[in-house]
Amino acid sequence: MTELYAVIGNPISHSKSPLIHKGFAEVLGQDLDYIAIEGPLGRFAETVDAWRKKGLRGLNITVPFKMDAFAYATRRDSAAEEAGAVNCLTFEGDSAEGANYDGIGLARDIEANLGFAVAGKNVLVLGTGGATRGALGPLLARGPARLTVAFRTPGKEAELRALFPEAKALDFAAYADLRDAYDLVLNATSATLSGEAPPVAPKNFARGALAYDLAYGKGLTPFLRLAREAGVEKCVDGVGMLVEQAAEAFQKWRGVRPETKAMIERITVPLV
């Protein structure tokens, strides 16, 4: 029997998730359907309830519903608790198991696909929002020498520090106080969506650095352009993270993890 899965967001027409999951299913011989749902704002729970009555077995969640999904879940994994957000729901009877695979997908893309070992490196994460919350746990688990979170507005960093009180490698700095060069610079801000670059300086990119924009499919974003102008040769967007987190959800639902390389190549947009 064909089982139903979906992604929900608003807007949702841009989503690559149906293409990714149907592609995984085709390669692995899995009998499933996967659709995109444009959820009405303020009606997340009732929308999901209606689709569960139609047989929905699992749901990916994108903007702006990740916190709604966190509240909806009857239980959550540790990554979701750290992030305060859920991007994957698995339904079994009355239960809705929430998970957050964004950080795991990011870390796997950086290490497995891009061949960049985080251990012992100096890492700079730009921004203190939900994307950063989801990324910190998996990145810290890989043993960076230092992981600095840059913030624009003082105060938000306190929440992040409280999540990882034992993380000696974790520190925080205002953009204006960034003095050092970093081996890995991650843009986790929303600046890309407004066509702007975060206020990071060329000196903050070390020789041989990797510049990574969590946004995907936007071509050469302002952040990546800034990195290139600073002499960074390895600039990537978040398409690998997107595919890797999808593979985690697929494995959760179907019990088998897809290979991701071909799908990443298929949907990558040139950085021009």
Active site residues: 66
Both tokens of 216, joined, read: 């995907």
Compute and round to an integer the Cα radius of gyration of the chain.
Answer: 18
The neighbouring-strand residues paired with 34 are 5
The number of helices, as runs of H, and strands, as runs of E, in the chain is 10, 12
Closest to 66 (Cα-Cα) out of 94, 40, 98 = 98
Q: Are 41 and 266 spatial neighbours (Cβ–Cβ below 8 Å)?
A: no
Give the whole-angstrom CA distance, residue 75 versus residue 90.
10
The backbone torsions φ and ψ at residue 206, rounded to the nearest 5 degrees and listed phi first, read -75, 160
